[in-house]
Amino acid sequence: MTAPSSPDGARPDSRPGSRPESRPESRPVLRLKPKANVRAIRHGSPWVFDNELVMDRRSKAIAPGTIALLEDHERQPLGTVAVNPESRIVARMLDRNADADIDTAWFAKRLSKALSLRERLYDAPFYRLVHAEGDGLPGVVIDRFGDTCVVQPNAAWAETHLDALVDALVSVTGVTNVLKNAGGRGRTLEGLDAEDTVLRGAAPDAAVPVEMNGATYMADLTGGQKTGLFFDQRDNQAFVARLAKGERVLDVFSHVGGFGLAALAGGAAHATCVDGSAAALALASEGAARMGAAERFTARQGDAFDTLAEMAGEDARFGLVICDPPAFAPAKQAVDKGLRAYERIARLAAPLVAEDGYLVLCSCSHAADLNSFTGACLRGIGRSGRRAQLLYSGAAGADHPLLPQLAESGYLKALVFRL
């Protein structure tokens, strides 16, 4: 029996988890301008900007989050894209197959691939499960904490298709709780709300303990920064912990104790964690206590720049100093200002490092590339009167896979210097 037609002539779709525009025959079409870089798109570039597309009245009227067909200027199909005419990134490539159905089964296939990698890498289910474009889900971040997943749908299409995504997530992983974190900067750029909510199950009634590198971290999944914990520094923290044995350690911008607690697990004599958030430091203190290291741990609340200056006045010295600040250069227009801030951090931190001690400087600003960041750090170290050896250059762990065609996916940089 033939299904009845809808008013526009397209057949209605009764498949679970499938929205009307998920069907190829009912999708709007976006077309590239003749001078657009078609080769880059064919070779894997996942974003198409407004100045590369024919943005006529019909294209501008497409509702944010809609699935569409992308064509080159000769009307040859390039793939299935998610559209938001209100963003500079108008189209995000979802599938090179122009006939792909973006439904629950499609999400399940992407999530299964992501899960298989993490299960190979880690013994316990605590990791970044989905790293946006790096895992083929543009704008979607999912961090896993045992039987709870925290989802950041930072693009309009992910918000629009959230039910199908969550259905697939529960089916593939077996988690019982799914939380939505709406605090991502990308959501603002996409015109989305900032309302956190519980999508499935229930939110934990207390911070969740997470074991990494021998340390215990307390992750606040509902009231903490981002999704509650930064998994991206795991490998860098492991390296730094090897330098910590017997040393006094200073961890600035520590959040819930990222590097400081790893250093304690590595045998540090003492760790001082500095952060502006009393709540984050309370979680760091709880983590230290759970590790049996409370007597070797001190929390100091305050502005990082001010605290570094104060400690210099106190003639404080540490065998290992770590500074892991928030993104000082979150966009290209902020790069110069951000690099000056990184230079200042290095200049203030270097005098606190004992002779032959170690200074760890980090950046999560994708707009500041590794060479620029390294240069800023070396200028700051030099202006403090110190000389440096560069021992280690690290990035995010393998649960944050880099999409080679998208430099922004390789945002994290961690440099370890011996002074």
Q: Examine the domain organization and report whether 217 and 152 are in the same domain.
A: no
Task: Answer yes or no: do 80 and 120 share one domain.
Answer: no
Buried b (16+ CB within 10 A) or exposed e, 280-314: bbbbbbbbbebbebeebbbbeeeebeebbeebbee
Q: Which pLDDT belongs to residue 417?
A: 98
Query: Is position 13 within any domain?
Result: no
Rg (CA), the chain: 23
Of 200, 235, 260, the residue at which a domain comes to its end is: 200
Domain membership of residue 64 as a residue range: 20-95
Residue-wise pLDDT tens digits, 313-366: 999 999 999 999 998 988 888 899 999 999 999 999 999 999 999 999 999 998
Residue 247 corresponds to which tokens in the numbers above? 């040393």
**11 pLDDT more than 70:** no
My answer on whether 89 and 183 are in the same domain is: no
- Residue 283 in any domain: the answer is yes
* pLDDT at position 333: 87
Domain boundary among 95, 122, 153: 95
Give the per-residue pLDDT at 20: 53
Final residue before a domain boundary, out of 148, 178, 200: 200
Q: What percent of the chain has pLDDT over 90?
A: 86
Query: CB–CB of 378/384 below 8 Å?
Result: no
Q: Are residues 280 and 159 in the same domain?
A: no
Residue carrying the six token digits 């707009």: 367
Contact status, residue 71 vs residue 32, Cβ threshold 8 Å: yes
Split into its structural domains, the chain has a count of 3
Report the CATH number that the domain containing residue 78 is assigned in CATH. Answer: 2.30.130.10
The helix (H) or strand (E) run that includes residue 89 is strand 89-95
In a domain, 328, yes or no: yes
Does the residue 244 lie in any domain? yes
Spatial CA neighbour of 160 closest among 19, 14, 10, 12: 19
What is the domain-level CATH number for residue 173?
3.30.750.80
Could you tell me if 194 and 219 lie in one domain? no
Q: What is the CATH number of the domain that holds 261?
A: 3.40.50.150
Note whether 229 and 177 are within 8 A (CB).
no
* Same domain for 356 and 239: yes
Residue 10: the pLDDT is 37
Q: Output the pLDDT for position 330.
A: 80
Paired with 82 in beta bridges are 67, 92
One domain, residues 273 and 342: yes
Question: Looking at residue 22, what is its pLDDT?
Answer: 53
Are residues 368 and 220 located together in one domain of the fold? yes
Whether 377 is catalytic is: no
Q: How confident is the model over 164-211, as pLDDT tens digits?
A: 999 999 999 999 999 999 987 788 888 888 899 999 999 999 999 999
pLDDT(225) > 80: no
Same domain, 195 and 282: no
In a domain, 1, yes or no: no
Residues 231 and 185 in one domain: no
- Mean pLDDT across the chain, nearest whole number? 92
Do 360 and 225 share a structural domain?
yes
Q: Convert the pLDDT of each residue in 357-409 to its tens digit.
A: 999 999 999 889 999 999 999 999 999 999 999 999 999 999 999 999 998 88
| Whether the Cβ atoms of residue 383 and residue 347 lie closer than 8 Å to each other | yes
Residue 160: inside a domain: yes
Residue 372 shares a structural domain with residue 283: yes
pLDDT for residue 126 is more than 90: yes
Assigned domain for 7 exists: no
Q: What's the pTM value of the predicted model, to 2 decimals?
A: 0.91
Length, in residues, of the chain: 419
Set 149, 273, 323, 364: catalytic member: 364
Q: Is residue 10 part of a domain?
A: no
